[in-house]
Structure formats: C-alpha cells, structure tokens
Amino acid sequence: MGPYVLRRVLMAIPVLLGTTFVIYLAVYALPGDPIQALAGPNQVISPSVAQALRERFHLDQPLVVQYGLYLRGLLGGDLGTSFTGRPVTEIIAASWPVTAQLGGTAWIIMAVAGVALGVVAAVRRGAADAAVLFGTTLALGVPFFVVAYVTQIVFGVQLGWLPVSGVEAGWPLAYILPGLVLALSGLPQVARLTRTSVLDGLAADHVETAVAKGLTGTAVLFRHVVRNSLIPVVSLLGVSLGYLLGGTVLVEGIFNLPGLGYQIYTAIPQHDGPVVVGIGTMLVLVFLSVNLLVDLLYGVLDPRIRLG
Amino acid sequence: MASSTLVSASAEIPPTPLPGGGAWSRLRRRPGFLIAAFVAALMSAMAAVPQAFAGWFGAGDPRACDLVRSAQPPTAGHPFGFDVQGCDLYSTVVYGTRSSVVVAVLATAGMLVIAVVLGSLAGYHRGWADAVIGRVMDVFFGFPALVGMIVILQTLSVRNEVTVAAVLVLFGWPPLARVMRGSVLAVAGSEYVAAARGVGARTGRVLLRHVLPNSFGPVAVLTGLNIGLVISSESALTFLGVGLRTPAISWGVQLNTAQQYFTTAPHLLIFPSLFLSVTVLGFVLLGDALRDAFDPRTR
C-alpha cells in the first residue's frame, strides 16, 4: 500500500505541473492589459502607477519566470494576490463552502437516486426498467442548462417553492435546485451502471445458493447482490465527484451562487490571472486527490484487487 | 500479396468493425434506433439545406425581420412566434441547426484524427511514445475541461464554427484516443499482424493495411454519441457567451438572448431548447444503439 500511494503521488506531480502550466499559459496569453482592466475601460492611469503595479505582480518578467515564481509561492501555500488586492487564498476560503455544499448536495442526490433507480430497474424489470432507461436517456440527451432553466421557471417562478438564485436561503433550500440540476449530469451513468451490475450480481452462483438455503428476498438482495454490485459503482461515484466540481462553473453561473466556479467565471473577463490560475490549481488538486482516494477505497472494498 | 490476403482473412479480428448481418439485425430490432436514425438524418438534412425546411410556414428568411413584431408569441404563419429582433423564430431555429451540426462534425472529425494518430502511436509503438501520450492524456483528464475551454475561448479574438470546434477538439480527444489505444494494443498482438511483420512488411504498411482497419471499429462506433455530446457542449459554451457570437445564427446564441426574457416571452426559450434537446437526444440514442450492437462486451 505504502509504495503504491507514494508512486501515485509522484505520478500526480507531472500532471499537476502540466495542468497548472496549461492554465497559466492560457490565462497570461489573454489579449488585453490586466492593469487597464483593473482601472476600468477608458480610464487613464499614470504610467508610474501602472509600472509599479506591473512590477508588483511580476507582469514585467518573462512568462517562464512568472510561472517559476508562482510555483515557488505555491509550495509555501501562497496562491498569489488577485489584481484587486485580495489574496487568492482568501477568495478561495470565502467561496469554497458554497462549492463544497453544492457539489456535496449534488453528489448525494446522484448517489442515492442513481443507485436506487438502478436497483429498482434491475430487480423489477418490465415497466420500471423501461421507465428508468427512458428517463436516463432523456437526462443524458437534454443539455443541462436547459434543465436548469426549466426547473427555475417551474419550481422557482411559477410554483414559488424554491429560490432561483443566490445562497441567502442557506443549506438545504438554496442548494436543492442547483444540486438537482448538477446531479442530473452524472445520474444516468450511475443508474445504468448500477442496473447492469445488479443484473450481473443476480445471476451469480452464490446468489442462487443463498436463495436455495432459504434466505428471504430482501436479505439476498441487500446482503448478497447489492453489496457486491456496488463495487464498480463506488468507483464511478468517486470519479464523478471530480466532474461535478467542474460542472459547478456552469451551475453556479446560472443560479448565481458565489462559489469557486462563479469566481473563476467572473475573473476571466477581468483578466484576473492569479484568481483563475489559483482556483484552477485548486480544482485540479481536489480532482487528483479524489481519484487517488477512490482507487485506494476500491482496494478496501474488493479484497480481490491488490494495489501494487 | 497472397500472404497479405491470407492474413487479413484470418478470423482473429477482435471487435467486429464492419456491420455484419448480426449487428444490423440487432440494430433493427431496437425501436429506439429507427427513431434516432430518423432524427439524426432529419437534423443533418436541415443543416445541409435549411432553405428547404425554413419556408414551410410561409416566412423562410431568418434575416427578414420586423422590429414591430419583437418577441411576439406564435401566430398563424409563424408557428414559433418572433424573436427579439422580430425575425420569424421558426426559420431562425431551422437555420440554427447548421452551426450546431457543422461544429459537431468538424470537432468530431478532428477528435477522430487525433485519436487515431496518437492512439495508434501509443498502442503500436508502446515504450516512450505510450508514456508521453499517456501523461498528456492524464493532464487533460485531470483538468476541469469546461474551465479550460472558457479560458481559451476568451483569449481567441475570432470565434466562429472552426475555432469553437478546435477548442472542443483540444479538450475532447483523450477519451477517444484511449479507446483507440486499447484496440490497437489488442490488434497489434494478434497473429496476423505478427505474420505480416514476419513476411517483411514495413511498419507503415502493417499499421495502414492490417492494424488500423481492424482497430477502428470501437472508436467509429462512439462517433454518434460524440456528435451528441459536442452539440450539447457547443450550445453550453455559446450560451455562456464564450462560443459563437451574434451574427451567427445558433441555438446557443438564441438561448443566451432568451434568458433575459424568459418570464415575458417563454417561447424564445422553449423552441430552441426543444430543437437542441431533440437533436442531442437523437445522436446520443443513435450512438447508444450503435455501441450496443457492435460492442461485444454489452451483448
């Protein structure tokens, strides 16, 4: 286990360097002058002030030097300072809870509803199966910003049950609609994988034995079928957590939730490089750690898998 | 020559690449397949010749607009109503098919080219090529793709079908390349490839004549699914304001405009989303059916 974890961490380093450099390159290749964007369009800034700001943010240095300075800061836990003067770590600290709650809510909805739908479809077959297949296909096909608007109009505006934007209502009220919409992006895959996996499980020899020795239906289902069938689903659920975090950019934009995705989205047009790079690095880090955790968990759940 | 026909006739081909009788009859039995194929064909036709569809209800020109009728609801002769500029919404939605399908076809073609080239390099040569390509793919897999696409699209001064497709290709090729690598790896280990090498065929010939034709199947089957996903991504990017821009007629642009008016003029939102959803659904279902019919693992 130990050497495996070490090797995985070492393998993650070039990935992290590559991704941050790609983000860095993209952000700092942005046309337009961040200092001018900071002052606002059509504002005159004195050359000496502009020069001082450029030096402060190392904008006068070549790109590679800037990236090196950034990495040095990163090692010490310093993600730099936004062009507005606020430290990036402070921005992340302030907006992280929103994204975590949104991602968490969506993930729980996805896991619970996905597994439940998959199990029902596999066990009941017939009409239930067809309904789940149809529903998941629909969820797969309809672009999720369309779903977001439909749910906003129906549940928010017409029925007035839930808030359509902002986080003033707090958890869970403010997060139900956006969480649901975000969950829909991964729910079909979870439900389908669970269904296939439970169907395979139902056909296994040990299940036949369990039925033959007289166990009740539910005991067989939960102890012998579902538990074994969930192994691949857990892996998918883990990987989806990373993708959910990426999807928050879109959902936070539509529902006006001041989380990480929203910060990144508003920082891009303002050419606020440190914020985009900092939050991007954060997201990549979380994504990589989640994937590592899932692989480790996989070995615990399924003793047949030896990590090495 | 005799040896090459002999080896390619070998029965060792792992995944069925060509529609044999079995796959086709499995496809036809699926009720979803015919509907999906019809939708995909209809949307492709609409993209190729929008003028043939736009005039069905009388007003065929999406650029002939009358500001007096701005955002009016559906009436006789204008079944979808009018958009904010007072243009007939039905014909603008029909013309919008084109940019979505063009981006999807361009992007999917680009992803296929990259996937085939890098996938066969990694799968056939192994070694350092495999290691480098594998790490590059890891970078893209470890990347919040949407964030990356938004950042890069913001930096582009020209945003049209070609550049948007290029950005989608940049972030979309790794899954296809991984599938291609896997199937090249399987084919490269088979006996007829060893035989071809044994009779002295050069690497290029072995790859082009023996490996590629037999390993392209699994990737080709993903095309339908991929087109659906690309259409969905393109509309999302355009909707966010970083994709295609206003002189272009596109569903994403229409939906972007519609969001400001969704309480007063819901038809602006409903019809483009309906077309978008049906198109994406059509291609995704088609892709699903194809994958089920050709993928030996799901049989």
The mean of the pLDDT values for chain A is 80
CA distance A240 to chain B (A): 12
Question: Do both A224 and A176 map to the same domain?
Answer: yes
Selected residue of B136, B147, B156, B238 to mutate for chain A interface (largest A Cβ count, 10 A): B147
The residue with greater pLDDT, B60 or A190, is A190
Domain with residue B76: its CATH number is 1.10.3720.10
Q: Output the pLDDT for position B239.
A: 82
Across B54-58, average pLDDT: 71
Instruction: Tell me whether residue A82 is in a domain.
Output: no
A with B: how many residue pairs have Cβ under 8 Å apart?
Answer: 112
Whether residue B134 lies within 8 A of chain A, CB to CB, comes out as no
Q: Among A149, A152, A284, which would you mutate to test the B interface (most chain B Cβ atoms within 10 Å of its Cβ)?
A: A149
Instruction: Please give the share of chain B, as a percent, with pLDDT higher than 90.
Output: 8
CATH number at residue A192: 1.10.3720.10
- Closest residue on chain B to A281 (Cα): B143
How far A169 CA lies from chain B's nearest CA (Å)?
Answer: 22
Residue A37: name the closest of A62, A20, A61, A57 by CA: A57
Q: What integer pLDDT is reported at residue A61 of this predicted model?
A: 73
- Verify whether the Cβ–Cβ distance A31 to B146 is below 8 Å: no
CB A102 within 8 A of CB A252: yes
Domain range for A48 is 2-75
Asked if the structure places residue A86 within a domain, the reply is: no
Position A4 pLDDT exceeds 50: yes
Say what the pLDDT of residue B296 is. Answer: 54
**With an 8 Å Cβ cutoff, is A15 touching chain B?**
yes
State pLDDT tens for residues B101-126.
Answer: 999 999 999 999 999 999 998 888 88
Write out the DSSP string of A44-98. Answer: ---HHHHHHHHHHTTTTS-HHHHHHHHHHHHHTT---B-TTS-BHHHHHHHHHHH
Query: Tell me: the pLDDT tens digits for B222-261?
Result: 888 888 889 988 888 888 778 887 777 888 888 888 877 8
| Average confidence (pLDDT) over A207-222 | 82
Q: What's residue A106's pLDDT?
A: 92
Q: What is the dihedral of CA A66, A67, A70, A74, to 10 degrees?
A: -170
Do A107 and A191 lie in one domain? The reply is yes
A133 and A252 in a common domain? yes
Q: Does residue A135 form part of some domain?
A: yes
Q: Determine, yes or no, domain membership for A84.
A: no
Pairwise CA distance, residues B219 & B183, whole Å: 9
| 3-class DSSP state of A168 | coil
Residue-wise pLDDT tens digits, B70-86 = 777 777 777 777 777 77
ipTM of the complex: 0.70
- CB distance A22–B143 less than 8 Å? yes
What pLDDT does residue A130 have? 84
User: What is the structure's pLDDT at A38?
Assistant: 66
- Using a CB-CB cut-off of 8 Å, the residues of chain A touching B32 are 137
Residue B2 pLDDT > 50, yes or no? no
A71 and A116 fall within a common domain: no
Of B197 and B28, the structure prediction assigns the larger pLDDT to: B197
- Provide the number of structural domains found in chain B: 1
Write down the pLDDT at residue B110.
Answer: 95
Q: How many domains does chain A have?
A: 2
Range of the domain at B273: 3-298
The answer to whether A160 faces chain B, any CB pair under 8 Å, is no
Kindly report the number of other CB atoms within 10 A of residue B257's CB atom.
18
Residues A71 and A99 reside in one and the same domain: no
Is residue A119 domain-resident?
Answer: yes
